[in-house]
Structure 1
Amino acid sequence: MSHREEFKFHHKCEQLKIHHLIFADDLMLFSKGDFKSVVLLVRTLKAFAEASGLEASPDKTAIYFGSVTEDEQSRILRVSGYKKGSFPFRCLGVPITSKRLTKAECDILVDRMVKRIMSWSSRHLSYAARITLVNAVLMSLHTYWAQIFLLPKCVLHRIIQVCMAFLWEGKVVLSRAPLVAWDWIAQKHDLLWIKWIHNVYLRESDWWEYQTPTNASWVWRCICKVKEVFRFAYNNNNWLNGNKNYSIKEGYHWLQGPQEEVPWHYWVWNSANIPKHSFIAWLVALGKLKTRIVLAKAGICQTTMVVV
């Protein structure tokens, strides 16, 4: 199909010769929005159905247009037999849109986290068990979305609130101040999105001297803004010490700024400790464990001060 002269690629996909992306049982096809190109896509789908017995469901299939006249759209829809789709649509559980994600479009992510917590809230879980669920389940949901989108700040703050409430109280909403403040915290050239960036935006330009085009996507402009922060620091000898080779880990630690190193770090957080014991020892080291407060209220001890 893609080798035929009448088939025209989507203007963003032409250099890499991309005409389809497939994820599990989801398939997306791309082409220039002209009648002949779309007809070739439809014929290819029908040929595949005849050979494999797998046919695209008309109820689950839609065509999404960009800068295509109404007459051409009607002609394409009539021949293909598929309906016209509108943005955003969902693929693999996430909204796909040509614009910046809004808070409302990210509500489904927060809702999924809340539903998971609601199913756990009736159980008596230790701090260590809650940490495991936060890292293994809640953060995996966040990471999945964050690998695809730049999430709005308000959504990130909401995710922090939900995770913090579950950690300290096992609930969705935190009713009192937490014991400890919650400070939050790919470079593979064969990845498709890396190839996309180099072919569509960078085009062999020097990364440090690269100027963001005005028609670039919002996500790419945000990434370039971070680059400008690093470049300013580099030019003022505040980072890298003249060496332009860097890693994401080094850049992240630099953005965080100097962190206090505590002497009890290694005996609290080490692989030999049971997670539950590590967490309680961490609270003790910070003077945040409530044991002595409870004892003082019961009249067993005279002071609530914790000596570390």
Structure 2
Amino acid sequence: MRIARSSILNHFSFTDEVLLFCHGDYQSSYLMLQGMLIFSKTSGLYPNKNKSEIYCSGLKETDLQRLLDAFGFSKSILPFKYLGMPINSKRFSAKDFQILVDKITTRIRIWSSRHLSFTGRVVLINSFILAIHSYWSQIIIIPKRVIKDITMICRAFWWTGKAT
């Protein structure tokens, strides 16, 4: 197999989920999918066509349809979630981080129903809330406004034991 100079193959892999990236033209996409088929034939590991999707940005509609016909995958649109993280081709706005703020608020509401000591609340904030924040921060740059919102929620829980 000859790979064109402009196509670079990258991947993210975790358990049974794999993301493959290539240059946004037909030849690169076709070569990447051909490489995946060669891997499948040699390893015996085949992608589930019912669960596999193609996300394209900048590929002509005719070329995309040729890929879909050739490999049997379905087309999907951005954004999507991978390991709980939203994946998008555009820059995220503060509104896109509402998922993170809601996740933290929901967790604190559950904890608010319990009678926790001041120290217990500190431990929960440091172990859980900051772990979620750190996980997201390693992958995406979180806007200052969202960080301020998370800080306000944590402070309210720390001092009052409630989410607000």
Same fold (TM over 0.5): yes
Alignment of 1:5 with 2:2, yes or no, is: yes
Distance 1:8 1:72, change over 3 A: farther
Alignment of 1:170 with 2:161, yes or no, is: yes
**Mapped partners of 1:104, 1:149: distance in 2:** 14
Instruction: Report SS of the residue matched to 1:119.
Output: helix
Q: Indicate the RMSD between aligned Cα atoms, in angstroms.
A: 2.1
TM norm structure 2: 0.86
Alignment of 1:145 with 2:136, yes or no, is: yes
Of 106, 112, 121, the residue aligned with 1:121 is: 112
TM norm structure 1: 0.49
What residue number does 1:100 align with?
91
Q: Alpha-carbon deviation of 1:37?
A: 3.1
Instruction: Report SS of the residue matched to 1:160.
Output: helix
Aligned length: 164
Instruction: Report SS of the residue matched to 1:104.
Output: helix
Q: Alpha-carbon deviation of 1:50?
A: 4.2
What residue number does 1:264 align with?
none
Distance 1:54 1:114, change over 3 A: farther
**Mapped partners of 1:20, 1:167: distance in 2:** 40
Q: Alpha-carbon deviation of 1:98?
A: 1.9
- After superposition, residues 157-306 of structure 1 pair within 5 angstroms as 157-173=148-164
What residue number does 2:70 align with?
79
**Mapped partners of 1:55, 1:9: distance in 2:** 27
Q: Alpha-carbon deviation of 1:160?
A: 0.9
Alignment of 1:62 with 2:59, yes or no, is: no
Give the strand-richer structure, 1 or 2: 2
Alpha-carbon displacement from aligned partner over 1:2-52 (angstroms, at most 9, x marks no partner): xx3244544xxx4xxx43222333211122333343233333333444444
Higher RCO (CA < 8 A, seq sep 6+): 2
**Mapped partners of 2:6, 2:17: distance in 1:** 20
Give the helix-richer structure, 1 or 2: 2
Identity percentage of aligned residues? 37
What residue number does 1:20 align with?
11
Distance 1:21 1:9, change over 3 A: farther
Alpha-carbon displacement from aligned partner over 1:187-215 (angstroms, at most 9, x marks no partner): xxxxxxxxxxxxxxxxxxxxxxxxxxxxx
Instruction: Report SS of the residue matched to 1:147.
Output: helix
